[in-house]
A and B are shown apart, each in its own frame.
Chain A
Amino acid sequence: MAGQYAIEMQGITKTFPGIIANDNVTLNVKEGEILALLGENGAGKSTLMSILFGAYSADSGTIKIHGNEEHIKNPNVATDLGIGMVHQHFKLVQNYTVTENIVLGMEPTRHGMLDLPSAEKKVAKLSALYGLRVDPKALIEDITVGMQQRVEILKVLYRDANIIIFDEPTAVLTPQEIDELMEIIRRLKKEGKTIVLITHKLKEIKAVGDRCTVLRRGKVVGTVDVADVSEQDLAEMMVGRAVKFELDKAPCHLGKVMLSVKDVQINDALGNPKVHDLSFDVHEGEILGIAGVDGNGQSELLYGLTGLLPVQSGAIMLDGKDITHQEIRQRIEAGMGHIPEDRQKHGLISEFSISENCAVKNYYLPPLSSKHGILDFSLMRKNADRLIKEFDIRCGEGAATTAGSLSGGNQQKVIVAREISLSPKVLLVAQPTRGLDVGAIEYIRRRILDERDKGRAILLVSFELDEIMNLCDRIATISKGTIVGTYKSGEVTEREIGLMMAGSKKEGA
């Protein structure tokens, strides 16, 4: 019974301990349209779609699919209704094949036993029909991120979904792969599917969206026709105030080389070389950006620089000193600062207070520690109080607040504050604004620029291309573990960087 709307969500409310994720949200999606769901991190988009997909149940509200009211208790019910979700963090079993992942839960059987050959045939047919290239026999852990995403899409199509939800699909793709994905989405629409695109990327909404519903802090702000609005309009709706896209950047004053990386090879924990023949220099007073898609060696590079992974060959020099094989603590003492990619894993100890977290790199030295190893906790607290004030860190109980109870933005501020307060000669920064709201993003980027103006050497690794282009003085592109090209910020376009990310060298270079 195709009426006008494929999905009607009325008055949806969903709460978790401490927050109201969705507050009386109403969302309508027309049959065969591409609706973009826009909002900052934490606005409630993923929660809303998880309710639609049956992963959560709403506290109140109704859902109608193709005009009929439905109770979507679990993903099975959603699948039966023809709803499929392509997740942001892929839900793929790493050591299963492409085929096994696609048919998991709906395996074809013969006499009760698994019939994988016939599953492979079905997958091949589906892949050809929608133009989604995959290798049915490959293991997930061996294929590219782009192919993994196609596997996620095939999972959904295998179950005859006619409503497909894409959750932040482009976070892990190169610019070219993003274009390919937009093409795939347009093709799916042509085949009659209804698409919901969850994103905070304004460019993509303008590229494929028909209409756009904007969420802010759990509430609907409004729904617009994409053709009628500009990216600026959308950004203002998303944040609630005028947003500055460009940052004022002072001209770059280059000093001497602070960090020198030469012909470095780094293997991962299983012995596979993830970084090889890699070289670059970072000068005082500049921000060198490493652009690239996740999984091309960035993490291993940072681990090798900080000391978390051993360096197989090559040399790393910090201010003229060879630190290639030094312990992590020695590198910190030599002047290496690090704002890590994963704040929960490497940046903070959630059970420690802010005060204890701020001291984690120098607690063992005087004045925080006496000659015999006894700690001065009140001095620790005083230092932390100073940082809280200077960096405007919002915390319920001051320096005694446990780090785990802070919001993402404030947690990142603690890490940034700590690193900066140690006056490092070189600052390694990885994904500094991941998962943060716009206000925190602006603040952190401003502080990074301030440090660069003070003369520090900064290495910025980020998957967000506009962040790289905005902040960096020079940009190096990493692909498959090695640097493919290094250019001054004005000399290269986003398109060219995208090509380099995929491995080709710049024209005429």
Chain B
Amino acid sequence: MIQILQSIPTILMIVAPILITAIGGMICERSGVVNIALEGLMGLGGCATAAAQTLLETSGMSNNLSVALALLIGAAVGCLFSIIHAVAAINLNADQTISGTGINLLATGVTIFASQILFNADRTKEFRLGMHTDALGVYPSVYIAAIVVILSWFILYKLPFGMHLRACGEHPAAAESVGINVRKIRYIAVLTSGLLGGLAGGCVVLTQTIQYTSATINGRGFIALAAVSFGRWTPLGVTGASLLFGTAQAFTVIATNFPSLKSIPTEVFNIFPYLITLIALVLFSGKNYAPASDGKPYVKGAS
């Protein structure tokens, strides 16, 4: 029992970035745009945050300030690159899956390219200290995730803007016909998902490692994507799904707390989150709950 309680902060640490990204993905899809570039956006944010933290640290800035600033930079970079997807999906009615994949490929290249230019290596230079935990052993990223979830719920269901956004994902023609600017709202949604993805990538780097490499994100963005559909596109559902997938992923780390699991090779635990996600998708295919116009390019004037 104690081991389980001991493991909770670790689980929360791993869940937080997945949850933040998933909420971003949920908002994006609720507005009608599918964003499979979450993986790449997390990578870009993570790389930017890691680089920023290293550079700010060496410049002598205090840890709290440098962490905050580095996170902001990561979020901004994620937001910036998501503009590509927004333009492609919203202005040019491009195939959203292809454009998202393109950004993922681009991210692989840009992140390491930047590292080569900045640090002459295929990874960022290590920083000394990332985020630190509070008295309960919980990282600030967990609180950030909680705030993001609550905010998203409030905006989506309590504000007129949220009602408009959800309408854009269900029936953009209906929204347009009552004067809602579908393009503008979708832009905001895509850029938000980029911002949150970048932020989440930064959280990964600052809580789970000391630098960014090509293996840092390792599929978290796709797990977040699966959490969106498994969680049926609602804040509560997505939170639950992220908890489930994050816990599965945490096993590689918390396994050391349980002596009976120590002898099993780490690879078995590595497979866990991906296997659980796959099984979850097959058993609980939530396609009927997707926003009705999810992923369909909106052509003005169509009925």
Contact = CB atoms under 8 A, between A and B. Distances in A.
A and B touch in the complex (CB under 8 A): yes
Interface of A: 50, 55-56, 74-76, 79, 85, 87-89, 91-96, 100-101, 104-107, 109, 112-114, 155, 269-270
B265 interface: no
Contacts of A112: 159
Contact of A91 (B163, B166, B177, B301): B177
Given A79-B179, A104-B178, A114 B167 contact: no
B85 interface: no
Interface string B156-177: 0011100110110011011111
Interface string B167-199: 100110111111110000000000000000000
Contact of B177 (A87, A88, A94, A109): A87
B303 interface: yes
A386 to B, nearest CB: 37
Contacts of A87: 177, 303
A219 to B, nearest CB: 22
Contacts of A56: 301
B170 A114 contact: no
Q: Which 8 A-B pairs have the closest CB atoms?
A: A105-B178, A91-B174, A76-B179, A89-B303, A91-B177, A93-B170, A93-B171, A107-B160
B292 interface: yes
Contact of B170 (A74, A76, A95): A95
A465 B179 CA distance: 36
A51 to B, nearest CB: 10
A295 to B, nearest CB: 17
Contacts of A101: 174
B10 to A, nearest CB: 37
Given A87-B303, A89-B303, A100 B174 contact: no
B159 A91 contact: no
A436 B175 CA distance: 29
A88 B173 CA distance: 13
B62 interface: no
B288 interface: yes
Interface residues on B, range: 20 to 34
B104 to A, nearest CB: 28
B161 to A, nearest CB: 10
B176 A100 contact: no
A107 B179 CA distance: 12
Interface in B261-303: 288, 292, 300-301, 303
Contacts of B173: 91
A462 B91 CA distance: 39
Given A100-B163, A114-B158, A94 B171 contact: yes
Contacts of A269: 288
A50 B300 CA distance: 12
Given A91-B171, A93-B167, A96-B167, A113 B159 contact: yes
A106 B158 contact: no
Contacts of B158: 113-114
Contacts of A75: 176-179
Contacts of B303: 87-89, 91
Given A88-B303, A100-B163, A105 B180 contact: yes
Contacts of A104: 163-164, 167, 174-175, 178, 180
A106 B177 contact: no
A109 B159 CA distance: 8
19 contacts: A50-B301, A55-B176, A55-B301, A74-B179, A88-B303, A91-B173, A91-B174, A91-B177, A91-B178, A93-B166, A94-B170, A101-B174, A104-B163, A104-B164, A104-B167, A105-B178, A109-B160, A114-B158, A270-B288
Contacts of A55: 176-177, 300-301
A107 B177 contact: no
A85 B158 CA distance: 28
Given A93-B170, A94-B170, A114 B163 contact: yes
Contacts of B163: 100, 104, 107, 114
B106 to A, nearest CB: 30
A112 B154 CA distance: 12
Most chain B C-beta atoms within 10 Å of own C-beta, residue among A85, A105, A109: A105
A96 B174 CA distance: 12
Nearest to B157: A114
A269 B288 CA distance: 10
Nearest to B289: A95
A87 B166 CA distance: 21
Contacts of B301: 50, 55-56
A94 B288 contact: no
A92 B176 contact: no
Contacts of B166: 93
Contacts of A76: 179
Interface in B115-171: 158-160, 163-164, 166-167, 170-171
A149 to B, nearest CB: 14
Most chain A C-beta atoms within 10 Å of own C-beta, residue among B159, B160, B176, B301: B160
Interface string B32-58: 000000000000000000000000000
Nearest to A54: B179
Nearest to A80: B179
Nearest to A100: B163
Contacts of B179: 74-76, 79, 105
B32 to A, nearest CB: 12
Nearest to A77: B179
A94 B292 contact: yes
Contacts of B171: 91-94
A106 B179 CA distance: 9
Contacts of A100: 163
A167 to B, nearest CB: 10
A167 B171 CA distance: 19
Nearest to B160: A107
A388 B202 CA distance: 63
Contacts of B164: 104-105
Interface in B207-237: none
Contacts of A270: 288
Contacts of A92: 171, 174
Nearest to B181: A74
Nearest to B303: A89
Contacts of B175: 93, 104-105
B270 to A, nearest CB: 38
A8 to B, nearest CB: 24
Given A96-B167, A155-B178, 4 more contacts: A91-B178, A92-B171, A105-B178, A114-B159
A105 B167 CA distance: 10
B246 to A, nearest CB: 29
Contacts of B170: 93-96
A155 B177 CA distance: 11
B290 to A, nearest CB: 12
Contacts of B176: 55, 75
B150 to A, nearest CB: 14
Contacts of A107: 160, 163
A96 B291 CA distance: 12
A105 to B, nearest CB: 3
